[in-house]
Every structure is written in structure tokens, then in C-alpha cells.
Amino acid sequence: MDVIPDAATGTEFPAQAPSAPPVPASKALIFGLAFAQFGVMLALLAPVTVTLALRVAQIVPKDDRGAALGQFLALGAILAMIGNPVFGSLSDRTRSRFGRRRPWLIGGMTVAFLGLLLIAVGDNVPMLMLGWAVAQLGGNAALATVVSCVPDLVPEQQRGKVSGLIGMMTSVAAVTGSVLASAFHDSLAMAFIVPAFVGVISVTCLAKVMKDRPATPGAFEPYSLREFLRSFWVSPKRHPDFAWNFAGRFLVFTGIACVTSYQVYFLMDRLGYSEDEVAGKVLIGTVVMVASVVVGSVLGGAFSDRSGRRKQYVLGASLLIAVSLLLFASAHSFSLFVTAMIVFGVGQGLYLSVDVVLAAAVLPNPEESAKDMGVLNIGNALPSSLVPIVAPALLAIGAGGENYGALFLFGGVACVLGALAVQFVRSVR
């Protein structure tokens, strides 16, 4: 049988080797995957949560800041949805002697670093917009590659544990980004550069410890417009389990987006906190939520791996998030808001620990794992753009435009439907 050497490690393995090797993933690889997810998400989330708004405020007149920030966030969401599957597809077919994942890991994060550097030093809106576009494209190239490494490199019996660690890194990165923004409040440029540098270091560590191979010769058609369009599509008729998982993921993340997009306005409008007070309350809620995500991720990954079952944990996690949304809908005090955040965090952590495992199990073609995981990631990203479009109509039900009960009930129903959709997946227990 032909063998292909790994250029970085010298290891030889069969050219037709399966994507998920039977040997257990090493501690170094598990750490590398978690650290890479943390680094990439830190570089992308720190601007979204805090620093991009502050940078826009330095350049854009006060009355225009909100609209300008909305344009930045919309651009980022669109490029994330496009970049994830496209760069995943290109990674799948890369025949570099360094493998098919390493060039996109390190190259993508290096490009993201340059984009964030441009935001840090730019002095006008077009420069900032260009920098954010470059950062999003590069960061999502790296992110698509990190996610594909789970089905590529982690055997089935470890995927719950590894997915739990990777999933909770997103929440940890969000809190770390807020802390760094506070630490560098006197030097906003460093608040962009430091997270970007951590991102580069993190993917380099993963590239060093991972096994990688070039794409199998002849496995793919030449890249063309047809192949580009196919980057966004997996036939639901031919692959119904993939389609049901996509639907479930989209619906659950719709519920999640109702909280993440509107918690600030909820605290101000319903609970009556001022603009000066709300930042501190959000930080408390976020810290509590992240701690709960860690608990849910660790427990969910361990129990799921031990039992070998996935759907029941996705079902329980989705329903738990739905319960938290009901708590948000009825919350009229900060203590109940924090309680809802705890339930929300545990449910989200449990969901993240199993969802990637379920996704890896229903991929149509192991050779296209990065492309197909990128398509699934559209189900994560799209709700963040769609919920703000739907929310004003829900908030306007009744009078006053502050019907958060309707918004959160909508999110709860979406989570319940998402839980039901995953039960139609037949190939996974």
C-alpha cells in the first residue's frame, strides 16, 4: 500500500487512511485543539464583544456609531458564513507537502493577524472595514480547519470529551477578550494585537503536534464555479441525517442568539439598569454563564463518551436551554436573571460537548470533512444575523416595544423544535 509522509513529523501512513484513526488522541493533540479554538475565537470575539465598538467610537461621530457598528457586524457575519465552508472545501483538496490542514491553520490566522493590525492602526472607516473583512476571512479559514480536525484526528470514543473542551473554549475566549479589553483600555491597539498574536501562537502549537496528510490524488474534481457553489450545499435527499442535524443546530442556535443578542437591552429595559450599570451586570452574568458552560461541557462530554449515546444528550441540552429561555421570559429581578444564566450555561455546555460529535458522525464524506463542517457552521452563524431581523416584531407585540417575554418564548420554541429535529437522525444513537 502506498504511504504518504507527514512533512512536519516524518510519520508515514497509508494514502487511503481513514480520517479518524483508531489510536487514541494524545494529550498534546487534545490540548492543541482546545488551545487553537481558544486562540482563534479570542482573536475574533474580542473585537465583536468590546474592542471593535470602542475603535469605531474613536473615528465615527456619536450619532452614527450604532449604524456603523451594525455594518461591521453584518459584514463579519456574512463573511463568516461564506468563508467557513469555502476555505474548508479548499483545505480538503490541498495537496501541499505540509498537509492539507496546516497551511490553512497558520496561513489563515496570519492573515487574520494582519487584518486586526490594520484595524488597530487605521484612521478611517474604509480602513477599519477592510481590516475587519480580512480578519474575518483569515480567522474563518483557520476556524474551519480546527473544527475539521475533530473528525480527522479524534476517534469516536473520545469525541465527546474533546468536543466539550473545544466548545467551552468559545465562552472562555469571550470572557478573556473582555478582560484584555479592560487591561489595555489605555492602548486600544494592543487590545487587537495581543489576541491576534495569541491566535497565531495557538494554531502553530496545533500544527506542530497534529498528524496531517495532503489530499488523496484524484479524490476531487478541479476547483471551479460549480465546486465553489457546492461548498454551501449538502443534498438533504441523499444525506437526510446531515440535514436533520443542520436543522436542529440552526433552531437551537436561534434560541441561543435571543439571549446573546438582547441581554444588554433586557437588563436596561426590563430590569431598569442604566448604561453605566449594565456593563458590570453583563460581566457578572457572563462569568456565571461561562462557569456553567465549563461544567456542562465536561460532564456532557464524559458521560456521552462513556455511554456511547449522543442524541439523548442533544435532546436534554436543547430542552435545558429552552427552560432557561422560559426563565428569562419571566425574570423581573437580577437574581432570577443570574439563575437563568446558570441554566443557560449548563445547557449550552452540554450541547456543545455533543453537537460536534453528532455532526462528525453524520458527515457524508470523510474526505470533505472541513467543507461539510463548514456547511454545518452556517447553522451556528446564520441565527445571529436573522434574530435581530425578527426580534423587533416580537418585541413590538403589545405596547412599548419591550415584550421580551415574546422574544424569549420564541427562542424557547425554536430550541424545542431543534431538539425534536435531531431525533430524526437515524445513524447515531
- What integer best gives the mean pLDDT of the chain? 82
Contact 159, 360 (CB under 8 A): yes
**Geometric angle at alpha carbon 334, from 328 and 336, rounded to 5°:** 45
- Answer whether residue 278 shows pLDDT above 70: yes
Q: 394 or 377: which carries more pLDDT confidence?
A: 394
Q: Helix, strand or coil for residue 278?
A: helix
- pLDDT score for 16: 42
Q: What is the pLDDT of residues 58-82, one digit of tens each?
A: 888 877 776 777 788 778 888 888 8
- pLDDT score for 3: 47
Q: What is the pLDDT of residues 320-363, one digit of tens each?
A: 999 999 999 999 999 999 999 999 999 998 888 787 777 777 77
Average pLDDT over residues 210-232: 70
- pLDDT score for 15: 46
- pLDDT score for 382: 81
- pLDDT score for 90: 85
Q: Domains of the chain, with CATH numbers?
A: 23-232 (1.20.1250.20), 234-429 (1.20.1250.20)
Confidence band of 7 (pLDDT split at 50, 70, 90): very low
Specify which of 46-50, 145-149, 213-217, 299-303 reaches the highest per-range mean pLDDT.
145-149
- pLDDT score for 40: 94
- Answer whether residue 14 shows pLDDT above 50: no
Which stretches does DSSP call E strand in 224-352?
none
- Answer whether residue 22 shows pLDDT above 70: no
Burial 264-289 (b: 16+ CB within 10 A, else e): bebbbbbbebeeeebeebbeebbbbb
- pLDDT score for 345: 92
- pLDDT score for 393: 86
Average pLDDT over residues 352-377: 75
- pLDDT score for 230: 65
**Pick from 294, 323, 342: nearest CA to 411:** 323
Contact 321, 347 (CB under 8 A): yes
- Among 43-52, 105-114, 228-237, 304-313, the range scoring the smallest mean pLDDT is 228-237
- Answer whether residue 30 shows pLDDT above 60: yes
**Geometric angle at alpha carbon 183, from 57 and 34, rounded to 5°:** 100
Q: 260 or 343: which carries more pLDDT confidence?
A: 343
Confidence band of 412 (pLDDT split at 50, 70, 90): very high
Residue 152 identity (one-letter amino acid): D
Average pLDDT over residues 208-212: 88
Task: Say how far apart CA 175 and CA 343 lie, in whole Å.
Answer: 18
DSSP code, position 367: G
Q: 295 or 380: which carries more pLDDT confidence?
A: 295
- Answer whether residue 1 shows pLDDT above 50: no
Q: 113 or 229: which carries more pLDDT confidence?
A: 113
Confidence band of 33 (pLDDT split at 50, 70, 90): very high
Contact 429, 308 (CB under 8 A): yes
**Pick from 153, 39, 165, 168: nearest CA to 101:** 153
Residue 186 identity (one-letter amino acid): D
- pLDDT score for 326: 96
Q: What is the pLDDT of residues 119-165, one digit of tens each?
A: 999 888 899 999 999 999 999 999 888 888 888 888 877 887 887 78
- pLDDT score for 204: 95
